[in-house]
Amino acid sequence: MPLNPADASFEAILRAGLPEDILRPLAPRYLEEPRGRYVGQGGLLALPHDTEQVATLIRAAARHRVAIIPYGGGTGLVGGQVLPEGPAPLILSLERMNAIRAIYPEENVLVAEAGAILADVQNAAAGADRLFPLSLAAEGSARIGGNLATNAGGTGVLRYGNARDLCLGLEAVLPDGQIWQGLTRLRKNNTGYDLRHLLIGAEGTLGVITAAALKLYPQPAASGTALLVVESPQAALKLLSLARTQFGEMVSAFELIHRQGLDFLSEVLPDIRQPFPAPPEWSVLIELGTSGGIDPSAALEQLFATALGADLLSDGLIAQNSQQAQDFWHLREMIPEANRLIGSISSHDISLPLGAIPDFIAAAPGRIAALGDFRINCFGHLGDGNLHYNVFPPQGRSRDAYPGLGATIKRAVHDLVQEMGGSFSAEHGVGRLKTGDLERYGDPAKLSAMRAIKAALDPQGIMNPGAVLRG
Amino acid sequence: MPLNPADASFEAILRAGLPEDILRPLAPRYLEEPRGRYVGQGGLLALPHDTEQVATLIRAAARHRVAIIPYGGGTGLVGGQVLPEGPAPLILSLERMNAIRAIYPEENVLVAEAGAILADVQNAAAGADRLFPLSLAAEGSARIGGNLATNAGGTGVLRYGNARDLCLGLEAVLPDGQIWQGLTRLRKNNTGYDLRHLLIGAEGTLGVITAAALKLYPQPAASGTALLVVESPQAALKLLSLARTQFGEMVSAFELIHRQGLDFLSEVLPDIRQPFPAPPEWSVLIELGTSGGIDPSAALEQLFATALGADLLSDGLIAQNSQQAQDFWHLREMIPEANRLIGSISSHDISLPLGAIPDFIAAAPGRIAALGDFRINCFGHLGDGNLHYNVFPPQGRSRDAYPGLGATIKRAVHDLVQEMGGSFSAEHGVGRLKTGDLERYGDPAKLSAMRAIKAALDPQGIMNPGAVLRG
């Protein structure tokens, strides 16, 4: 049965049961997404103040069969936050529910409402001399509810895990309007099916997260950063293994950078200072966060010497102060911006078993070259096996010259990823952009279980319809 | 509709479709569980060699509506491994599927079949100079499939997480006989609902895990162990916080021991050497696993000095060699055996928010004293907020003198745990023993979601019926 639109009569129903300021005029930004691939259609916009109001809204939507689009910071990259077609939805933004409800430094726990901006969560933790380690480019506007709904990744995953690994408990409203009071601060709790992990990564299709109990960590006492020139991706992996053998969990980040990314920076962001006289073919940014009195610079020097002796690297820079460390990170973090300015034909957020990465990096250019003359920027979170593998036109040409080729390239890349046991979506999720990939590459038993779960928890299909699973 | 028994006609059907040696005579051990609370009823015993045979068995059971009891090492403590009533089941033991399929040291990944014994997985990892950190008393007979199905905890959770946190991917057979090929070795993979985390902790009620890709870690370069006498549980928590601030993730274990446990050891296992001349009221066993060249003994001495200066402790012993470290651990690990020999009236595997533990330890004895004169042994994985809080008769009396009182005590303890935001099952699961607790203390929205998921994935209710959710 098709859904009903969030029309004037539905609006009247909502207005009758809720305070006046809950429904707000629908600003255009709620219908946009960062890469401009989708434009959402209008509908109603609700900005609830508390969980009870979220439940009231969802109960009304369930009763009247109206689609709900949960809205966090709007920073998702796969179109999960906009509904481009079908009956007009109720857009439910959690932005007013942005409180840090409590912080328990001795427990290493922080409880935040879903609308809290990620950077605010980080800052609240830092204010209690603790670390909330989820860190990603959009942290200044992404909201923690969306980070959890999409199981966000970022640069801290190697040491601290994905968003799901940083969550102890959830409060959420299920598709029938029931409030699940699951906001436990427990480290061990084996009392039935793990609804938390089911909602995390479900991208708002099984309910709306309203608050979360989050894991904090002690702040490392000191940190050190280095940019190391490696001989090859294989050498980078050996360097990672060496670093973890020497320093265990103190290895906080391990990012791969290809020459193409540095060339792009020179091309479109020439003010960014290049650290090496000639951009190296492969380099890695490594960060150590140490405790126990370990001097991170000395540790990095020791690692450098060992790796040099093992022929894993040929050059490198160890940050001598925090400004230099920030510069190294800035270099890494501006690569996506350079990509955006160049304009990719097709971009891929893929992951692979760590051991398969050198083979992938060796094999993929051939598959792409078979389709034309392109530039490839391969970079990302090597420690997690997560590459952002993006394909661009040759210098001087625009992606507009390659209409329709993006899908062909994407297919070639994702096919190879699948052959090598990898994933077509490492950290961005499925959203609306990758529902076809999920159908193509997803395990049939898993897909049928997913459909059964969706039908069981959201039998009317009102929660973020068309995301993750097509109707 | 009631299930059918695994009778002679069902046996004939199975024999027709499977190799001869799959069905085996049913030895009594398959019908027992460690605490003797339940006796399983007979039925058929199947010992498949591979995942296809598991699928064949489950498809037959689904077609003929026969209950399946997945069987790992049989070490579970909540009766999840035996079916005491209802039509005779098909007992499906994974013991023949015990291969370590592959090990990838550079990826820190090991792939094991579900029937692999936990200690064998640990040893295989150690053989590749890696650590598989799941560690628990039953590791010599528990099997990894059961550890995952119950989301086992143990002593390594503080640093490395629960069993679910150590699993990258699963292969499993769903209740309709479909094989889910989810054996990924990926660290990031956001492609739909996380079926892995749904099966982990579902205690065999949503499918049968047949293999797992497990996370390994670098072996800490050195480790050190100390037994420290603390003033109070509050002081123990402050010591934990201090240790983690100083040494971060290098704090590998933090176990609480009460005087009662040491007294029990003197009473029933007098050959075990007591480390202190007089058993201290509260002590903690701390282990540091260090890297980066940190000397763990020096680190423990530094921690001791700081904690002494902060009045957190009054005495302590730092192991001077590995034998002494083993002795400390042996002391801790024999407490459950002493408990068994004394015979508890009621035992509780509870968890609490860390900050609530001192209040719980202060309040619980009063609730129990209101019910009679008992001895309490409170010990456990303090770093995880997980207490084993067990109640015993006074010296010289047997638990048999208190018929029926166990349930009353359990209720009093679990009520208090619930009031303080804790869990009635930290690491043992629900099984059949705690279905009533789950109904009483479980969140209603979560319970209704669990029932909907169970009905969606196992509409006939053949998978481990009566475990976790009563019919």
Say whether residue B142 is in contact with chain A using an 8 A CB cutoff. no
A287 phi, psi to nearest 5 deg: -125, 135
Give me the pLDDT at residue B381, please.
95
Contact B247, B213 (CB under 8 A): no
Report the relative pairing of strands B282-290 and B251-258 from DSSP bridges. Answer: antiparallel
Is the same domain home to B195 and B289? no
Residues of A in contact with B170 (CB under 8 A): none
Does A313 reside within a domain? yes
Tens of pLDDT along A63-110? 999 999 999 999 999 999 999 999 999 999 999 999 999 999 999 999
**How would residue A1 be classed by pLDDT, with cut points 50, 70 and 90?**
confident
A238 and B150 in contact by Cβ < 8 A?
no
| Interchain CB distance below 8 Å, A384 and B188 | yes
**pLDDT single digits (tens) B191-202:** 999 999 999 999
With an 8 Å Cβ cutoff, is A310 touching chain B? no
Residues A137, A245 within the same domain: no
Closest CB from B290, B438, B456 relative to A292: B290
Asked if residue B261 and residue B302 are part of one domain, the reply reads: yes
Same domain (yes/no): A200, A110: yes
Inter-chain residue contact A194 with B206, CB threshold 8 Å: no
CA A111 to CA A96: how far, in whole Å?
16
HSE value, Cβ hemisphere, 13 Å, CA-based, for A368 = 29
| CATH code for the domain of B212 | 3.30.465.10
pLDDT greater than 80 at residue B13: yes
Check if B358 contacts A (Cβ < 8 Å): no
- Pick from B170, B178, B187 the residue to mutate for testing the A interface (most A CBs within 10 Å): B187
- Of B295, B319, B341, which residue constitutes the final position of a domain? B341
Residue A442 lies in a domain: no
The length of chain A is 471
Query: First vs last Cα of chain A: how many Å apart?
Result: 11
Residue B1 has pLDDT above 90, yes or no: no
Of B186, B217, B438, the CB nearest to A191: B438
Whether B186 is covered by a domain: the verdict is yes
Assess if residue A399 is contained within a domain.
yes
- Do B320 and B229 belong to one domain? yes
Count helices and strands in chain A by DSSP H and E runs: 14, 18
Q: Is A66 on the interface with B (CB under 8 A)?
A: no
Test mutation, A164, A180, A193, A428, chain B, max B CBs within 10 A: A193
Per-residue pLDDT at B442: 98
Specify whether B201 is located in the same domain as B288.
no
What is the DSSP secondary structure assignment for residue B117, as one 8-state letter? B
Chain B contact set for A246 (CB, 8 A) = 291-292
CA distance linking residue A167 with residue A209, whole number of Å: 12
What would the two tokens of residue B216 be?
């390994």
B356 phi and psi angles, rounded to 5 deg: -90, -5
* pLDDT at position B257: 98
pLDDT of residue B427: 96
Report yes or no: A196 and B162 within 8 Å, Cβ to Cβ: no
Range of the domain at B362: 343-427
Provide the pLDDT confidence category of residue B287 given band limits of 50, 70 and 90.
very high
Is the pLDDT at A414 greater than 80? The verdict is yes
Across the interface, whether the CB atoms of A445 and B293 are under 8 A apart is answered: no
- The answer to whether residue B242 neighbours chain A at the CB level (below 8 Å) is no
Whether residue B60 is contained in a domain is answered as no
Alpha-carbon span B329 to B341, nearest angstrom: 19
Q: What is the mean pLDDT of residues B241-261?
A: 97
A166 vs B290: CA distance, rounded Å: 23
DSSP alpha helix (H) spans, A91-232: 118-127, 144-149, 157-160, 195-199
In a domain, B395, yes or no: yes
Compute φ and ψ for A269, nearest 5 degrees. Answer: -135, 65
A178–B448 C-beta distance less than 8 A: yes
Decide if B351 and A250 are in contact by the 8 Å CB cutoff: no
CB contact (8 A) between residue B202 and residue A218: no
| Interchain CB contact of A133 with B (< 8 Å) | no
Segment B109-130, tens digit of pLDDT: 999 999 999 999 999 999 999 9
pLDDT at B339: 97
Prediction ipTM score: 0.97
- In tens, the pLDDT along B337-349 reads 999 999 999 999 9
* CB < 8 Å to B197, chain A: 164, 194, 197-198
- List, for residues B19-32, the tens digit of each pLDDT value: 999 999 999 999 99
Looking at the partner chain, which of A185, A217, A237 has a beta carbon nearest the beta carbon of B421? A185
Query: A420: which 2 tokens?
Result: 């090598």
CA B208, CA B85: separation in Å to the nearest integer? 21
Mean pLDDT of A143-152: 98
- pLDDT for residue A471: 72
Are residues B318 and B351 both part of a single domain? no
- Residue of chain B with shortest Cα separation from A183: B421
DSSP label of B427? S
pLDDT of residue A335 exceeding 80, the answer is yes
Q: Are B298 and B358 members of one domain?
A: no
Per-residue exposure over B277-316, b if at least 16 CB sit within 10 Å of its own CB, e if not: eebbebbbbbbbbbbbebebbebbeebbebbeeeebbeeb
Task: Report chain A residues whose CB lies below 8 A from the CB of B421.
Answer: 184-186
What pLDDT, on the 0 to 100 scale, is given for residue A70?
A: 98
Task: Give pLDDT tens digits for A418-469.
Answer: 999 999 999 999 999 999 999 999 999 999 999 999 999 999 999 999 999 9
For residues B153 and B427, is the Cβ–Cβ distance under 8 A? Answer: yes
Nearest CA in chain A to B234: A106
Confidence check: pLDDT of B414 > 90: yes
For chain A, positions 175-214, list CB contacts with chain B under 8 A: 178-182, 184-195, 197-198, 200-202, 206
Exposed, middle or buried by CB within 10 Å (0-12, 13-18, 19+), for A268?
Answer: middle
Report the DSSP beta bridge partners of residue A346. Answer: A391
Give the minimum alpha-carbon distance from B241 to chain A in angstroms, rounded to a whole number.
Answer: 6
Which of B355, B442, B446 minimises the CB distance to A104?
B355
CATH code of the domain covering residue A420? 3.30.70.2740
Contacts of A469 in chain B (CB under 8 A): 192
Give residue A301's pLDDT band: very low, low, confident or very high (50, 70, 90).
very high
Same domain, residue pair A312 and A204: no
**Residue A433 has what pLDDT?**
97
Chain B CB within 8 Å of residue A427 CB: yes
Identify whether residues A293 and A332 lie together within a single domain: yes
Element holding B148 (H helix, E strand): helix B144-149
- Interface check for A443 against chain B (CB to CB < 8 A): the answer is yes
Q: A453 and B456 in contact by Cβ < 8 A?
A: yes
Q: Kindly list the residues from chain B whose CB atom is less than 8 angstroms away from the CB atom of residue A250.
A: 248-249, 291-292
Residues 6 or more apart whose Cβ sits within 8 Å of residue A36: none
Chain A residues in contact with B188 by the CB 8 A cut-off are 153, 157, 162, 351, 381, 384-386, 423, 426-427
Tell me the mean pLDDT in the region A36-45.
Answer: 95
Res A365: pLDDT: 98
Q: How far is CA B341 from CA A119, A308, B261, B362, in A?
A: 53, 58, 12, 26
Examine the fold and report which residue of B187, B218, B249 is the final residue of a domain before the chain moves on. B218
Residue A125 identity (one-letter amino acid): A
Please state, in angstroms and rounded to a whole number, the distance separating the CA atoms of residues B248 and A252. 12
| Chain A residue nearest residue B246, CA to CA | A292
Check A197 against B198: CB less than 8 A apart.
yes
Q: B105: which DSSP letter? A: G
What would the mean pLDDT of A281-285 be, rounded to a whole number? 98
Kind of pairing between the strands at B68-71 and B90-93: parallel
Q: What is the pLDDT of residues B135-154, one digit of tens each?
A: 999 999 999 999 999 999 99
Contact B106 A238 (CB under 8 A): yes
Whether residue B187 is found in the same domain as residue B260: no
Check B423 against A202: CB less than 8 A apart: no
* pLDDT bucket at A179, cuts 50 / 70 / 90: very high
**A178 interaction partners in chain B (CB closer than 8 Å):** 444-445, 448
Question: Number of folded domains in chain A?
Answer: 3
Provide the number of CB pairs (under 8 Å) joining chain A to chain B. Answer: 301
Nearest CB partner across the interface for B353, out of A107, A193, A247: A107
Domain boundary, last residue among B176, B198, B218: B218
Residue-wise DSSP of A358-401: HHHHHHHHHHHHTT---EEEEEEEGGGTEEEEEEEPPTT--GGG
A422 touches A139 (CB < 8 A): no
The answer to the question of residue B213 being in a domain is yes
Both tokens assigned to B310: 């902060």
B167 and B151 within one domain = yes
Confidence (pLDDT) at A229: 98
Which of 363-382 (B) contact A at CB < 8 A?
A: 381
* B107/A354 Cβ within 8 A: yes
- Record the tokens describing residue B50, joined without a space: 């591979």
pLDDT at B439 over 80: yes
Say if A464 is an interface residue toward chain B (CB within 8 Å): no
Residues A7 and A357: their CA atoms lie apart, in Å, by 50
- Asked whether residue A414 is domain-assigned, the answer is yes
